[in-house]
Structure 1
Amino acid sequence: MEAYKRWVRANKDYVHSLESLANGLTWLLPERFSESEIGPEAVTSFLGIITAVHEHIIETTPTQRNTGQVESSSFPYSLCITLLKDLETLVEVAAQQIFGDDRKWNFIAATEATKVLVRLAIFWNSGYKMVLHGGESVNIEKGRDAYNSQQRQGHFANPGNLNGTYYYGQAPWNLEGRALSALSRFGANARMLSEPTWLLRVQHQQAIMEPPIKTAEKPSLSSILSEKGVYGGLFLMGEVMFIVRPLVYVLLIRKNGTQSWFPWFTSLAIDLIANGVLSYVTALRTIRKDPLFDLSNQERDELRRRKLMWALYLMRDPFFMKYTRKRLDHTQKLLEPVPVIGFFAEKLIELSIGAQTRYTYMSGS
């Protein structure tokens, strides 16, 4: 297994190229969206799982300098979410063929419930930070202000310490860094030689008696509520609403059917309220004009991504059958006489209509 991991990490560009080609060809498999065909979806799920495992191997490379995605010290929640998303379409197709259209929603609901539990675990494990890309990305980036401040100061302006040796920023291999490193080692050795033995013993005793400096702990639920007050509670509520929205949607479809407007409107309302609450509390300023919630660049992108996901409501029943499908058919008739463009438009519309028949392709979860 370790040999395979080393091969994947050494040939990551080659692996990415093969995976992209294979995943693209799956859309051309015969009867990709047939109600009775499990084979193409099994192939797609298998390729998705392989891709997710390879990405996890590459992201957890021990020598990787960018540790933003490394989860080697904890349970790989993001990998679990990715694997569940790769399997859920296969689960839907298999359940539909074996148990029928109505009973398949029991299995889809079980899949969504599992994803909700994993995302809640991610939310708790991250110290109640915003869940990025449905949990597939790890949210450990600093706030934007802190990040920009660090960038303005520059990594090379703050000397660090590693095993008693001070390096000039993060690049001890350059000429200036090596010179300063040598000076700091010389100063440290000279100071140790010049200090009397009794002083060294006192410093050693103080180091033993004084508690070590603790690293910053992730905030707890009580600390967030005490520091942010009502707005902290609103932030938590908005994030939890976003996490549980897909499960609520599936349970309502299971009860009312796909052609009922009640699941559609309820899901849309939860999305609007959750995003509205998050946008409101994250835009608030303190008395000193500082942001109440210091969002990172990734978190701001996540808020924008969630708003873009609202476009999927155009592809969900009953809105799709009543409005979107008619527009697609009308567009196909207009472009059909046009050479080349008409062919590609027909194929694209055919794929869109086929993908719409799968809940998991349009769930946005």
Structure 2
Amino acid sequence: MAAAATQGRLDRLIQELRDQYSKAVRNNPDTVAQIESAVRILSFLVAGRFENGEILSELIYSASNLIVFINDNVFKSASKYVSKVVDITKERIKKLLTVLEYTEVFLEMAAKKKWGTKGAWVVITVIQITKTVLRFYLLVKLDGGIGSTPSIQPVDREILKTSQEEEHDNLEDAWDEEAAYSAQEKTFTLESSGRQVRTLQASGQNGMRTWGVPESGTQSPQNNILNRKRKLLNQSASKLTKQRKWAEGLHIARPLAHLISMYISGLDSWKPWLLACGMDITSMCLMGESKDLNPKEKAELKRRSLMLLYYLMRSPFYDKYTKMRFMAVFRFIAQYVPLSGFIIRPLLEYLPTWQRMYFYVWTS
């Protein structure tokens, strides 16, 4: 009984702390955004400046992503524009995938520091197998459609409306009515054609005159854009054809196929590089035209196309062709652009670790 009572008090305390944190985040969105940016900038400043600075930098960077992820969930839970009716299983899998994607580089670096290269490869393999299984489950069993990286994207908080902002609705409505009334005063309608014409009193000064008819709608262009974005928040995934499922399956399997190929052929072989590049290109070709996909899926396919440029930074192509040119450009900038050396020189020292870790995670 005592243990149950203690557990109950602990649960209530955790819930109270969670509620207080959520309230603080909702009431101070600008401060929250500044803190998130500061933590992310700190991760870049730490890189290459201290012993074990690479691990510390990655820890801070992973923490900044997780903070943004947690705060996004707080804003979404309080927003009236986000649907509360969701597939719980699908949502939980996506959250787990997102956490793995934000922390996998740090976990790899920490494992290598603690257990050496073999330990790091064990961690990498476990993470990639877990992600592959979960993504295939989303694709095949839950019709998850085209997945993104990270699985839950950071949200544009401008389009979320919290309960605290409800009090502004009446003011906005009043402004809209006043704007519509003012527009009516500034125009008159021709009897013969029905065309609206601006009055002389509303013509304005010569230097600031516009020749269009004043807007008489009840929403500003900015509000129209926000409303269009809000409609996309709850948009479901597109139903994929069999060909597109094969394409998405190739994209999901590519990281694990790359790891297996590296294990068989070795780290310096071209075979893993060619296999992964071929799977990516084949996947993009099988996807075909994206006209019938929703905007989020179109953006994801565009991102994947741009990420093909990452192959320029992946070994062995990087070691043979890109490295010397890349280093020469940054050394030139550090030498001749004032104050740039303060940022670029530590990054150049960190670049080998960054290239080795980030471009072997293969989540992009």
State the TM bucket, normalised to the shorter chain. 0.5 to 0.7
TM-score by length of structure 2 reads 0.63
For 1:1-365, list aligned pairs within 5 A.
1-29=18-46, 31=48, 38-61=55-78, 64-67=79-82, 71=86, 73-74=88-89, 75-124=91-140, 127-137=143-153, 232-278=241-287, 280=288, 282=289, 294-335=292-333, 337-340=335-338, 343=341, 345-347=344-346, 349-359=348-358, 363-365=362-364
Q: SS at 1:358's partner residue? A: helix
Superposed displacement of residue 42, structure 1? 3.0
- Offset from partner CA, 1:230-266 (integer Å, 9 cap, x none): xx21111001111121121122223333211111110
1: CA distance, partners of 2:114 / 2:64: 23
Which residue in 2 is equivalent to 1:193? Answer: none
1:31-66 per-residue CA deviation (whole Å, 9 max, x = no partner) reads 4797796444333333332332222222222xx232
After superposition, the Cα gap between the structure-2 partners of 1:59 and 1:302, relative to the gap in structure 1 and judged at 3 Å, is same
Relative to structure 2, which stretch is displaced further, 329-338 or 109-118? 329-338
Residue 133 of structure 1: CA displacement? 3.0
- The CA deviation string for residues 279-334 of structure 1, in whole angstroms up to 9 with x for no partner, is x2x46xxxxxxx7xx21122111111100011111111111111111112332454
Q: Number of residues paired by the alignment?
A: 269
Change (3 A) 1:340 1:12: same
Does the 8 Å contact 2:148/2:300 carry over to 1?
yes
- How many Å separate the matches in 2 of 1:70 and 1:254? 44
Note if contact 2:48-2:346 (Cα within 8 Å) is conserved in structure 1: no
Structure 1: runs of 5 or more not aligned? 139-170, 176-217, 284-290
SS in 2 for 1:248: helix
- The structure-2 alpha-carbon separation of the partners of 1:135 and 1:29, relative to structure 1 and needing over 3 Å to count, comes to same
RMSD, matched Cα: 3.5
Mapped contact 2:36–2:64 kept (Cα < 8 A)? yes
AA at the equivalent of 1:66: Y
1:274 is aligned with what amino acid? S
Does structure 2 conserve the Cα–Cα contact (< 8 Å) formed by 1:234 and 1:277? yes
Whether the 8 Å contact between 2:47 and 2:347 is mirrored in structure 1 is no
The residue type equivalent to 2:121 in the other structure is: W
Q: Distance in 1 between matches of 2:67 and 2:278?
A: 36
1:113 deviation in Å?
1.5
- Structure 1 partner of 2:7: none
Return the letter of the residue paired with 1:254: Y
Q: Measure the CA separation in 2 of the matches of 1:55 and 1:25.
A: 21
The letter for the 1-side match of 2:317 is F
| Aligned residues of 1:102 and 1:254 also touching (Cα < 8 A) | no
SS of the residue aligned with 2:75? helix
Q: Whole-Å Cα distance in 2 between the matches of residues 69 and 325 of structure 1?
A: 48
- For the Cα contact (< 8 Å) 2:314–2:359, is it kept in 1? no
Instruction: Please give the alpha-carbon distance, in whole angstroms, between the structure 1 residues aligned to 2:359 and 2:107.
Output: 10
Q: What one-letter code is carried by the residue in structure 2 that aligns with 1:136?
A: I
CA separation in 2, counterparts of 1:233 and 1:332? Answer: 46
Pick which of 112-121 and 318-327 moved more. Answer: 112-121
For 2:362, the aligned partner's letter is: S
Query: Could you say what secondary structure the match of 1:136 adopts?
Result: coil
Using the alignment, how far apart are the partners of 2:277 and 2:244 within structure 1?
19
Structure with bigger helix share is 2
